[in-house]
Chain A
Amino acid sequence: MSRMQTGQKVTFRILRGEGDSLKEVDYHVEAETGWVVLDAVLNIQATQAPDLSVRWNCKAAKCGSCSAEVNGKPRLMCKTRLDDIDTSQPVVVHPIKSFPHVKDLVADVKWNYEVNKRITPFTPAKDADFTYYQEDVDRVQEFRKCIECFLCQNVCHILRNHEAHSRFAGPRFFVRVAGLEMHPMDTADRTQFLDQEAGVFLCNITKCCTHVCPEDIHITDNAIIPLKERVIDRKYDPLQWLVRKVTGKK
Chain B
Amino acid sequence: MAEYQTHEYDVIVIGAGGAGLRAAIESSAMGAKTALVCKSLLGKAHTVMAEGGMAAALANVDKADNWQTHFRDTVLGGKYMGNWRMQQLHAQESPERALELERWGAVFDRTPEGKINQRAFGGHTWKRLAHVGDRTGLEMIRTLQDKGVHQGIDVFMECTIVELLKDSGRVVGAFGYWRETGKFVVFKAKAVVMATGGIGKMFRVTSNSWEYTADGHALALRAGAELIDMEFVQFHPTGMVWPPGVKGILVTEAVRGEGGLLKNSQGERFMERYDPKRMELSTRDQVAKAIYTEVKEGRGTPHGGVWLDISHKDAEYIKKKLPSMYHQFKDLADVDITTSPMEIGPTMHYIMGGIRVVPESGAATVPGLFACGECSGGMHGGNRLGGNSLSDLLVFGKRAGEGAALFARDNGAHVGFDDAQIKRTEQDVLRPFESRASHTPYDLHFELQDLMQDNVGIMRTGDDLKTAIAVFPAFNEKLRGARVEGSRMFNPGWHLAWDMVNMLLIAEVVARAALQREESRGAHTRLDFPKTDSGGYWETVNSCATYEDGRVGMGLIPKPVMPAELKALVDATA
| Chain A contacts to B: CB under 8 angstroms | 1, 6, 18, 32-36, 39, 45-47, 50-65, 79, 81, 102-104, 106, 108-110, 113, 116-117, 121-122, 124, 128, 130-134, 136-137, 140-141, 144-145, 147-148, 180, 183, 186
Contact = CB atoms under 8 A, between A and B. Distances in A.
11 contacts: A34-B243, A36-B245, A50-B442, A57-B211, A58-B209, A102-B490, A113-B41, A133-B110, A134-B109, A137-B110, A141-B107
Given A32-B245, A79-B331, A121-B150, A58 B103 contact: no
B149 interface: yes
B132 A141 contact: yes
A144 B49 contact: no
B105 A51 contact: no
B245 A116 contact: no
B250 interface: yes
Contacts of B42: 113
Given A35-B245, A122-B146, A63 B48 contact: yes
B135 interface: yes
A183 B103 CA distance: 11
Interface string B314-340: 000000000010011001111000000
Given A50-B492, A124-B103, A141-B107, A62 B135 contact: yes
B180 interface: yes
Nearest to A58: B49
B333 A34 contact: yes
A61 B328 contact: yes
B378 to A, nearest CB: 27
B41 A109 contact: yes
B442 A65 contact: no
B138 A131 contact: no
Given A51-B493, A104-B490, A147 B110 contact: no
Most buried by A among B99, B243, B489: B243
Nearest to A47: B442
Nearest to B109: A134
B270 interface: no
Given A104-B490, A130-B103, A133-B114, A46 B442 contact: yes
Nearest to B211: A57
Nearest to B247: A34
A57 B40 contact: yes
A183 B115 CA distance: 15
- Interface of A (DSSP majority class): loop
Nearest to A108: B180
Contacts of B324: 61-62
Contact of B493 (A6, A45, A65): A45
A60 B49 contact: yes
Given A50-B493, A65-B41, A56 B210 contact: yes
A46 B445 CA distance: 10
A81 B331 contact: yes
A64 B44 contact: yes
A143 B113 CA distance: 23
A68 to B, nearest CB: 15
Nearest to A116: B149
A117 B150 contact: yes
A80 B245 CA distance: 12
A118 to B, nearest CB: 10
B105 A18 contact: no
A8 B441 CA distance: 26
A66 B109 CA distance: 28
Interface stretch (B119-127, B411-419, B479-487, B558-566): B479-487
Interface residues of B, number: 67
A57 B209 contact: yes
Given A58-B49, A60-B332, A133-B112, 11 more contacts: A46-B446, A50-B486, A51-B493, A57-B44, A57-B45, A61-B331, A103-B490, A117-B149, A134-B109, A144-B132, A186-B105
B146 A52 contact: no
Interface of B: 40-46, 48-49, 99, 102-105, 107, 109-110, 112-115, 132-133, 135, 137-139, 142, 146-147, 149-150, 155, 157, 180, 209-211, 242-246, 249-250, 324, 327-328, 331-334, 440-442, 445-446, 484-487, 489-494
B491 A65 contact: no
A127 to B, nearest CB: 11
A183 B143 CA distance: 13
B332 A148 contact: no
A110 B180 CA distance: 12
Most buried by A among B45, B442, B490, B491: B490
B416 to A, nearest CB: 33
Given A50-B442, A55-B40, A121 B147 contact: yes
Contacts of A110: 157
Closest 5 CB pairs of A and B: A34-B243, A51-B486, A50-B493, A122-B105, A53-B490
B245 A34 contact: yes
Nearest to A40: B245
A109 B137 CA distance: 22
Contacts of A35: 243-245
A52 to B, nearest CB: 7
B331 A50 contact: no
A117 B149 CA distance: 7
Given A32-B244, A59-B209, A148 B43 contact: yes
A117 to B, nearest CB: 5
B49 A63 contact: yes
A39 B246 CA distance: 9
B485 A50 contact: yes
Most buried by B among A6, A57, A186: A57
A144 B149 CA distance: 17
B106 to A, nearest CB: 9
B440 to A, nearest CB: 5
Contacts of B142: 144
Nearest to B246: A34
Nearest to A176: B146
Nearest to A123: B105
Given A34-B245, A130-B103, A183-B107, A63 B44 contact: yes
A206 B456 CA distance: 54
Given A6-B244, A55-B41, A144 B493 contact: no
A161 B133 CA distance: 37
Most buried by A among B115, B138, B242, B327: B138
Contacts of A1: 334
Given A51-B485, A55-B40, A132 B110 contact: yes
B187 to A, nearest CB: 19
B494 A51 contact: yes
B245 to A, nearest CB: 4
Contact of A140 (B43, B107, B149): B107
Contacts of A104: 490
